[in-house]
Amino acid sequence: MNTEKIATRSNKPAQGNRYICDMSNTGHKKPFSLMINMNMLTTKQGIGTKVQLCTMMFIQYMLSAVWWVPLAAYLSHTLKLEVYQVSLVLSAMAIGAMASSFIGAIADRYFAAEKILAVLNILTGAFLLLAAHQISFAPLMTCVVLAMLCHMPTQSLTSTIAMSHTPSEQFPRIRMFGSVGWVASGIFSVIALHAMHLPAFDDTNLPMYCGAAVCFVAALLNLRLPHTPPTVDKSAGISVMDITGFSAFSLMRDKNYRVFMILTFLAIIPFNLYHVYGSMILADEHVQNITVTLNLGQLAEMFFLVITTSILVKSGIKNTLIFGVIALVVRYASFYIGAETGVQWFYYIGIVVHGLIFGLFFVGGQVYTDSVAPKEMKAQAQGLLFFLVWGIGFLIGTLWNGWLIGLFRDGDKCDWPVVFAISTLFSFVILLLFAFLFKPVALKTNK
């Protein structure tokens, strides 16, 4: 039986831009092999380095989740911003994602990674403190965009630091602590509501204060991280084509990769509805612990990311991606039934399948991109995927879903069944297109 196998990440960041993940050392048209070692995690510098790297991941993703997850609910239910204004503020993540490669490429030439990380976390915390004091649209959006411009590069920076000080095949075990930190961010909501007996948390500005506090703690810990010097000579030129990954556009000559990229670009649009507006949806359903509830999806993601490897090996790239899109259809079909019947358990089904969608479809897409890209173009190919999908596509998704919510919103109420029905249909069409148009060449495994 022909099956495709998974490539591991290179333990050497891509030269010229360590903010783009090179997932393999393999050459063009060679089989990509599963190299994940499930033995006890070992690093070059012992247990102390392990603890530092795992703590770094834990706290970095905790600070992301604590304020970003409930932001939509705060903007819509507390500040009473117009839906289009909420969409514009939430587009900050996509703006930060598109700009992070530029910021990273410049910083790469002059500073050690751990020092950049510390400075960016301090700046993120400062902008979050400013954002917490804003109650009108323009200054709030300015502060949130500035915070995201500083925060988004840190997600790649932490990966760079971890892979510079530990064998690349062990990186997933360290990265898992990021998911643990994301889930643990719900502790702030639990403490506020049950220990301090505050009337509300998720739809207030308190998450921004908590996020800022975690940023400052993270910055202090960052200064104790293993030294990770610049990887690029200061005199090296910066190419916009390389930073954005557009130099890998030649991959689009391959029909299957062209189909994959277009459909992935489209798939991020319905995916974005949950990822960005999830707290608004749950707030309309009068769910109190919004962050904790949404973090069930991240908890499931930790499990599904583990089994993604096995599914890729046994089922192949095409089936893996299709399974991920099926999960996307299941999410919005469940949301639709929940909104129509008023049974909240259907929302939980849609939340839990988040791990399947992310692990099988989006991580699987990274693996497929790595498998078709020539060795010298792997980093640029991942950059192109990130820039088009998580940058431009995510921005379009944020604005589209905001427009859709506004179109079917009357006062404080939204006709969610209609919104979910449209997203379900959208996802189903993408599923059919993948099934009939995407025909990747099977890659044999090594014996």
Hey, do 17-28+44-231 and 240-440 end up sharing a CATH topology, with the first three levels equal?
yes
Low-confidence winner among 17-31, 37-51, 150-164, 293-307 (lowest mean pLDDT): 17-31
pLDDT at position 447, please? 39
pLDDT at position 174, please? 81
Low-confidence winner among 22-26, 47-51, 428-432 (lowest mean pLDDT): 22-26
Q: Which of 244, 273, 288 is nearest to 385 (CA)?
A: 244
Reported as a pLDDT band with limits 50, 70 and 90, residue 88 is: very high
Percent above pLDDT 70 for the chain: 81
Q: Domain residue spans in the chain?
A: 17-28+44-231, 240-440
Instruction: Take residue 52 and report the two structure tokens written for it.
Output: 């530092």
Residues 6+ apart with CB under 8 A from 224: 52
Low-confidence winner among 287-291, 392-396, 414-418 (lowest mean pLDDT): 287-291
Superfamily of domain 17-28+44-231: MFS general substrate transporter like domains (1.20.1250.20)
pLDDT at position 443, please? 44
Q: Which of 98, 99, 103, 138 is nearest to 120 (CA)?
A: 103
Note whether 220 and 55 are within 8 A (CB): no
The overall average pLDDT reported for the chain is: 81
pLDDT, one tens digit per residue, over 158-214 is 877 887 787 755 666 787 788 888 888 888 888 877 777 777 788 889 999 999 999
pLDDT, one tens digit per residue, over 218-244 is 999 999 999 888 766 666 666 666 666
pLDDT at position 242, please? 62
Reported as a pLDDT band with limits 50, 70 and 90, residue 297 is: confident
pLDDT at position 200, please? 77
The residue with tokens 């879903």 is: 401
Instruction: For residue 413, report the phi and psi dihedrals to the nearest 5 degrees.
Output: -110, 140
First to last CA, the chain: 12
Reported pTM = 0.75
Reported as a pLDDT band with limits 50, 70 and 90, residue 348 is: very high
Does the pLDDT of residue 393 top 60, yes or no?
yes
Domain at 240-440: CATH architecture = Up-down Bundle (1.20)
